[in-house]
């Protein structure tokens, strides 16, 4: 059955993403295309309607002329956003939308598309344990089964218990899953490195090296799969032709020494919360579908100053306490990201009448919709107090806990 599609024509304003979301929220599938897309390319998608996001009168007229003759209803959006009632009328009445798009159907169509694209080719996927790559793994597993190999590289910069949890989920499935503990290699490369950008570069490059070495052992692959999602594409300017808003920082980019025919990006048209929904539809455990975003370089950018095993372990223990308390206070659903940072500041403390001189640990919790701007979260004092008390008593080498009360901008989410 053909999927009804609405095309959002992007005239260069930030409204496209919001409009695409609103259409999907009305259970009609939508895709964004640049305003200079040829009329035939648009018509080939067989859209039941087209929405022009805010543009100039001249832009609109030119496009209207090109699309003349295709007989596709068009809605022009002038103001800040389409009125809900106006959009609903356009979709249901003008375009005859059935409003029956849902994640179950979309998952089925993705699996069918992947089967058609890949055939009996071999696919390789770098699994990070995050939502995006995990959802890709489940999708590809359905589509190609044993022709998929997943490699999970533990760079030693994961949160407490995370490698074990990921292994537990994926080794239970009957799939080709390879776990590589490369922590010592990464730590050796990162020794005495304090500059954040150098850390990122080293981690990215080492990741690619480890991945390539392992891929070589597997032999020839036909496809490399990646968990790229819609905002990555929208923000990188690939579809809008508007220039890069945010150069995306996935670990290391693409490996150069793996010979493959094509990239497979099964979830590249989905927004983050849709990826989570898809994960749920595919049967991924909740602990993965609800996982908060975690940067590719991991705790490497949350250890200020030199990265050592000892400092990573302190951070992991403190971070776990913070996560436990946020969850037990029921706050995790309202917070987009919450984590601990180990600073390179020592500060004076006092324990049993003795002076101590230990690490200062910071906590950060933010709320955001797009991660481009973020607000610090007003966690109740009682929760902060409990976290602080537990950290200084249960984790050695921490004598002081501080809470970050800075929005983004001016501060970034991560400290490095
Ligand atoms: P910032 O610190 O830039 O973070 O405000 C915005 C979002 O991006 C994540 N982040 C990263 N993700 N590699 C990643 O894959 C990175 O180097 C990186 N740095 C930041 C951050 O956790 C937040 O969700």
**Is 70 exceeded by the pLDDT of residue 244?**
no
> Ligand 1 atom 21: the closest Cα is on which residue?
295
If you average pLDDT over residues 68-80, what whole number do you get? 87
Ligand 1 centroid from CA 131, angstroms: 15
pLDDT at 280: 98
CA angle 168–169–170, rounded 5-degree value: 100
> Ligand 1 atom 11: the closest Cα is on which residue?
295
Taking only the tens place, the pLDDT of each residue in 167-206 is 999 999 999 999 999 999 999 999 999 999 999 999 999 9
pLDDT band at 400 (very low <50, low <70, confident <90, very high): very high
Beta strands 337-351 and 354-367 are antiparallel
pLDDT band at 79 (very low <50, low <70, confident <90, very high): low
Taking only the tens place, the pLDDT of each residue in 95-151 is 999 999 999 999 999 999 999 999 999 999 999 999 999 999 999 999 999 999 999
Taking only the tens place, the pLDDT of each residue in 16-61 is 888 999 999 999 999 999 888 999 999 999 999 999 988 788 888 9
The rounded radius of gyration (Å) of the Cα atoms in the chain is 24
If you average pLDDT over residues 258-273, what whole number do you get? 91
DSSP string, 50-103: EEE-S--HHHHHHHHHHHTTS---EEE--SSS--HHHHHHIIIIIS-------H
pLDDT at 405: 98
Ligand 1 centroid from CA 293, angstroms: 8
Pocket test for ligand 1, best of 155, 249, 292 (most atoms within 8 A of CB): 249
* Nearest Cα to Cα of residue 360 among 388, 402, 322: 402
With a 6 Å cutoff on the Cβ, whether 415 touches ligand 1 is: no
pLDDT at 242: 39
Ligand 1 centroid from CA 124, angstroms: 25
pLDDT at 56: 81
Which atom of ligand 1 is nearest to 249's Cα? 13
d(CA 77, CA 130): 36
Peptide bond into 392 cis (omega under 30): no
With a 6 Å cutoff on the Cβ, whether 371 touches ligand 1 is: yes
Beta strands in 237-390 (DSSP E): 262-264, 337-351, 354-367, 375-376
Ligand 1 centroid from CA 106, angstroms: 29
CA angle 390–392–394, rounded 5-degree value: 60
Among 26-30, 339-343, 368-372, name the one with the lowest average pLDDT.
368-372
Strand order in the sheet with 5-10: 29-34, 5-10, 49-52, 74-76
pLDDT at 82: 84
Domain boundaries, the chain: 5-94, 103-289, 302-403
With a 6 Å cutoff on the Cβ, whether 404 touches ligand 1 is: no
Report, at the CATH architecture level, how domain 103-289 is classified: 3-Layer(aba) Sandwich (3.40)
Which atom of ligand 1 is nearest to 336's Cα? 24
Bridge-partner residues for 5, per DSSP?
29
pLDDT at 245: 36
Pocket test for ligand 1, best of 131, 232, 341, 371 (most atoms within 8 A of CB): 371
Pocket test for ligand 1, best of 295, 296, 415 (most atoms within 8 A of CB): 295
With a 6 Å cutoff on the Cβ, whether 408 touches ligand 1 is: yes
With a 6 Å cutoff on the Cβ, whether 293 touches ligand 1 is: yes
With a 6 Å cutoff on the Cβ, whether 248 touches ligand 1 is: no
With a 6 Å cutoff on the Cβ, whether 412 touches ligand 1 is: yes
Backbone φ and ψ of 90, nearest 5°: -60, -50
Are 5-94 and 302-403 the same fold in CATH?
A: no
Which residue is associated with the tokens 């036909």?
222
pLDDT band at 342 (very low <50, low <70, confident <90, very high): very high
Class of domain 302-403: alpha beta
> Ligand 1 atom 24: the closest Cα is on which residue?
293
The runs of H, that is alpha helices, within 219-363 are 230-235, 272-281, 286-289, 309-328
If you average pLDDT over residues 259-283, what whole number do you get? 94
pLDDT at 236: 67
pLDDT at 237: 61
Q: Domain 5-94 adopts which CATH fold?
A: Rossmann fold (3.40.50)
* Nearest Cα to Cα of residue 396 among 315, 308, 307: 315
Ligand 1 centroid from CA 231, angstroms: 14
pLDDT at 13: 65
d(CA 298, CA 316): 11
* Nearest Cα to Cα of residue 387 among 413, 363, 411, 353: 363
């Amino acid at each position: 059955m053909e999927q009804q599609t609405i095309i959002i024509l992007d005239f260069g304003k930030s409204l496209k993403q919001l409009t695409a979301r609103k259409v999907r929220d009305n259970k009609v599938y939508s895709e964004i295309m640049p305003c200079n897309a040829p009329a035939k390319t648009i018509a080939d998608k067989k859209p039941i309607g087209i929405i022009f996001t805010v543009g100039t009168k001249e832009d609109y007229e030119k496009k209207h002329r090109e699309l003349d003759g295709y007989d596709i209803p068009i809605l022009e959006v002038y103001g800040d956003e389409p009125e809900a009632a106006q959009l609903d009328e356009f979709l249901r009445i003008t375009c005859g939308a059935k409003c029956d798009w849902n994640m179950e159907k979309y998952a089925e169509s993705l699996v069918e598309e992947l089967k058609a694209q890949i055939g009996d080719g071999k696919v390789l996927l770098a699994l990070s344990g995050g939502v995006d790559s995990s959802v890709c793994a489940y999708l590809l597993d359905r589509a190609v089964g044993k022709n998929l190999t997943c490699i999970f590289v533990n760079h030693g910069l994961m949160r407490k218990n995370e490698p074990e949890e990921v292994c537990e989920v994926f080794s239970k499935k009957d799939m080709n899953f390879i776990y590589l503990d490369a922590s010592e290699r990464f730590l050796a490369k990162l020794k005495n490195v304090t500059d954040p950008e150098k850390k990122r570069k080293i981690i990215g490059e080492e990741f690619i090296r480890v991945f390539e070495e392992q891929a070589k052992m597997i032999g020839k692959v036909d496809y490399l799969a990646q968990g790229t999602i819609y905002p990555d594409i929208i923000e990188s300017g690939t579809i809008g032709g508007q220039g890069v808003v945010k150069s995306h920082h996935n670990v290391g980019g693409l490996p150069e020494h793996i010979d493959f025919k094509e990239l497979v990006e099964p979830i590249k048209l989905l927004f983050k919360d849709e990826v989570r929904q898809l994960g749920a539809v595919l049967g991924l455990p909740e602990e993965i579908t609800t996982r908060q975003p975690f940067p590719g370089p991991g705790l490497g950018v949350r250890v200020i100053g030199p990265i050592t095993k000892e400092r990573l372990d302190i951070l992991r223990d403190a971070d776990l306490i913070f996560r436990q308390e946020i969850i037990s206070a029921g706050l995790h659903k309202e917070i987009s990201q919450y984590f601990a940072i180990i600073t390179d500041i020592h500060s004076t403390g006092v324990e049993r009448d003795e002076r101590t001189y230990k690490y200062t640990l910071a906590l950060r919790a933010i709320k955001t919709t797009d991660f481009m701007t973020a607000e610090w979260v007003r966690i109740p004092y009682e929760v902060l107090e409990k976290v602080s008390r537990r950290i200084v008593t249960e984790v050695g080498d921490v004598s002081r806990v501080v809470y970050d009360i800075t929005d983004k901008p001016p501060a970034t989410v991560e400290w490095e």
